[in-house]
C-alpha cells in the first residue's frame, strides 16, 4: 500500500471545520499516512486526542506597518517549505478562506523553484461558500482558490448545490459527509429511566449570530413550564453576554448554565436528554450528528444540510427557523415520552453508523487521494 504525505490546513478553534480536519488527519495517520497539520495554533481537538502528531506553526511577523497580519503569505511560505522539505503529495485545506489561495501560492512557488508538484484539495465547510465566499470583497479570490484546487469536496449535498449554483466554481464538487468517531460518541452503558427527573437540554455552538442562541433560551422558557428541565450551553462566542442578559430577564438563571467551550463534549452528550440546535444556517451540523451518535434525540431548525443528517420524526424533529413555539412543542413531546425519546435516540445512532461513521468517511477521502495521485 502507498502512504501519502499530506499537509492538512485548518483553523485551530473548536469550530466544526477544525474538528473535522483533526479527526480526519488523525484517522489517516493511524492508517499509516504521513500527516502534517498546519495552522496558527495547535487545533484544540488534536491536543485532546493525545498521541503523536506533526504540527507546523504558521508564524506571522508583527510589524507596526501592518494593520492586518499577512497570514495568507505566512501560510503559503510555511506550506512551500513544508512541501519542499517533506516531499508532500497533497495539501488538503479545510475551509476555503484563505486556505485555498495560500495553497495555490505555495504550489506556484514550488513550480517556480523547480520543486515537485503537489495536489490541492479544498473541503468546503459552510460559510466559506454560502456566506463569506459570496461577499463582494472575498468572492473573486475565493472562487479562484477553489477553481485552482485539483479536487473540491463539500460536507453536504446542500453545500455542493450552493457552491455550484452561487459560486462560479467550474470544477466538479464531490460530497463527502463529515466523519463521526462512533467509538467516542457512543451511548452510555446504562441510561437512567427518565421518570420525573429534571431533563437536560444541551445546546452546543460557537455562539455566533448565525446560531441564534436567543431562540434556544426563548424555547427553553416555554419548555421548562411544561417539563422540569435545565438548559446547558456548551461553547463560547460573541453572543454569550446578550444571552446571559436574556436568561436573567426571563428569570431563568437557576436553570440555565453556561459551561464554556468543551473540546470533546461526548460526556455531556451522554448525559443529555435532548440537543437543541437553533441555527439559521448549518451546512452539516456536526454537533447534531455527535448527539445522534450518543443516542440523544435532536430538535433542530430545518436549514441547509441538517435534513441530510437528521430525519424528521425518526431521529428527532426538524422545525421552522425562528419558530420558538414549534421548537418548544417538539421538545416537550419528546421529553414527555421516554419511549419515543429512546426510539429516536436509537434511530439516530443507527443512521450515524450507516452513513457518517469515521471509518467509512475516511475511506472516501483516501479513495479521493488515490484518484488524484493517479
Residue from 58, 79, 152, 155 touching ligand GMT (CB under 6 A): that is: 155
- Closest by CA to 56, choosing from 72, 29, 75, is 75
Judged by CB under 6 A, the stretch of 282-290, 321-329, 343-351, 357-365 that binds ligand GMT is: 282-290
Residue from 285, 297, 316, 348 touching ligand GMT (CB under 6 A): that is: 285
- DSSP string for 103-143: HHHHHHHHHHTT----EEEEEE-SHHHHTGGGSTTTHHHHH
Between 97 and 106, CB nearer to ligand GMT: 97
Q: Rounded to a whole number, what is the distance in angstroms from the first to the last CA of the chain?
A: 14
- What residues have CB less than 8 Å from 346, skipping those under 6 apart? 295
Looking only at residues 115 through 134 of this chain, which bind ligand GMT when binding is defined by CB under 6 A?
125-127
Between 175 and 226, CB nearer to ligand GMT: 175
> How many residues of this chain interact with ligand GMT, rule: CB under 6 A?
20
Contact call for residue 20 and ligand GMT (CB under 6 A): yes
The least distance separating ligand GMT from the CB of residue 208, rounded to whole angstroms, comes to 6
Contact call for residue 25 and ligand GMT (CB under 6 A): no
C-alpha cell at 6: 499530506
Interface mask toward ligand GMT for 219-258; x: CB under 6 A: ----------------------------------------
Is residue 331 within 8 Å of residue 299, measured between CB atoms?
A: yes
C-alpha cell at 320: 421552522
C-alpha cell at 121: 484539495
C-alpha cell at 182: 462512533
Helix (H/G/I), strand (E/B), else coil: 355: helix
Query: How many Cα atoms occupy the beta-carbon half-sphere of 288 within 13 Å?
Result: 31
Residue carrying C-alpha cell 517533506: 86
Between 199 and 304, CB nearer to ligand GMT: 304
Residue from 143, 221, 282, 329 touching ligand GMT (CB under 6 A): that is: 282
Q: β-pairing, 316-319 with 298-301?
A: parallel
Between 206 and 214, CB nearer to ligand GMT: 206
Looking only at residues 70 through 109 of this chain, which bind ligand GMT when binding is defined by CB under 6 A?
95
- DSSP string for 136-204: TTTHHHHHHHHHTSSEEEESSHHHHHHHHHHS---S-EEE-PPPB-TTTS---SSPPP-TTSPEEEEEE
Judged by CB under 6 A, the stretch of 51-59, 68-76, 204-212, 347-355 that binds ligand GMT is: 204-212
Residue from 77, 147, 206, 242 touching ligand GMT (CB under 6 A): that is: 206
Residue from 4, 7, 9, 16 touching ligand GMT (CB under 6 A): that is: 16
The least distance separating ligand GMT from the CB of residue 88, rounded to whole angstroms, comes to 23
| Positive or negative: CA dihedral 165, 167, 170, 176 | negative
Between 99 and 218, CB nearer to ligand GMT: 99
Between 199 and 212, CB nearer to ligand GMT: 212
Contact call for residue 302 and ligand GMT (CB under 6 A): no
The residues that touch ligand GMT, with contacts defined as CB under 6 A, are 15-18, 20, 95, 125-127, 155, 178, 206, 208, 210, 281-286
Amino acid at each position: 500500500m502507498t502512504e501519502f504525505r499530506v499537509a492538512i490546513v485548518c483553523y485551530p478553534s473548536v469550530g466544526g471545520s477544525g474538528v473535522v480536519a483533526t479527526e480526519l488527519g488523525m484517522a489517516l495517520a493511524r492508517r499509516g499516512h504521513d500527516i502534517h497539520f498546519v495552522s496558527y495554533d495547535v487545533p484544540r481537538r488534536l491536543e485532546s486526542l493525545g498521541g503523536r502528531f506533526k504540527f507546523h506553526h504558521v508564524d506571522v511577523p508583527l510589524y507596526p506597518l501592518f494593520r492586518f497580519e499577512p497570514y495568507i503569505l505566512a501560510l503559503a511560505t510555511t506550506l512551500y517549505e513544508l512541501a519542499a522539505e517533506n516531499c508532500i503529495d497533497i495539501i488538503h485545506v479545510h475551509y476555503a478562506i484563505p486556505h485555498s489561495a495560500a495553497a495555490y501560492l505555495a504550489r506556484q512557488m514550488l513550480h517556480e523553484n523547480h520543486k515537485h508538484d503537489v495536489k490541492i484539495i479544498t473541503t468546503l465547510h459552510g460559510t466559506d461558500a454560502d456566506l463569506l465566499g459570496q461577499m463582494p470583497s472575498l468572492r473573486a479570490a475565493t472562487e479562484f482558490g477553489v477553481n485552482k484546487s485539483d479536487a473540491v469536496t463539500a460536507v453536504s449535498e446542500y453545500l455542493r448545490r450552493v457552491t455550484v449554483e452561487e459560486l462560479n466554481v467550474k470544477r466538479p464538487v464531490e460530497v463527502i459527509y463529515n466523519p463521526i468517531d462512533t467509538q467516542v460518541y457512543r451511548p452510555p452503558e446504562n441510561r437512567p429511566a427518565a421518570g420525573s427527573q429534571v431533563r437536560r437540554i444541551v445546546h452546543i455552538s460557537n455562539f455566533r449570530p448565525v446560531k441564534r442562541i436567543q431562540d434556544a433560551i426563548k424555547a427553553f422558557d416555554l419548555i421548562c413550564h411544561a417539563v422540569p428541565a435545565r438548559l446547558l450551553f456548551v461553547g463560547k462566542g460573541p453572543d454569550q453576554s446578550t444571552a446571559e442578559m436574556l436568561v436573567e430577564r426571563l428569570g431563568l438563571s437557576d436553570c440555565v448554565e453556561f459551561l464554556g467551550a468543551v473540546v470533546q463534549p461526548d460526556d455531556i452528550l451522554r448525559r443529555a436528554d435532548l440537543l437543541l440546535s437553533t441555527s439559521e444556517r448549518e451546512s452539516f451540523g456536526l454537533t447534531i450528528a455527535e448527539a445522534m451518535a450518543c443516542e440523544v434525540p435532536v430538535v433542530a431548525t430545518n436549514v441547509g444540510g441538517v435534513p441530510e443528517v437528521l430525519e424528521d420524526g425518526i431521529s428527532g424533529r426538524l422545525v421552522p427557523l425562528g419558530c420558538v413555539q414549534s421548537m418548544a412543542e417538539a421538545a416537550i413531546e419528546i421529553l414527555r415520552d421516554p419511549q419515543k425519546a429512546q426510539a429516536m435516540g436509537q434511530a439516530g445512532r443507527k443512521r450515524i453508523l450507516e452513513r457518517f461513521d469515521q471509518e467509512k468517511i475516511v475511506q472516501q477521502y483516501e479513495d479521493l487521494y488515490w484518484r488524484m495521485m493517479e
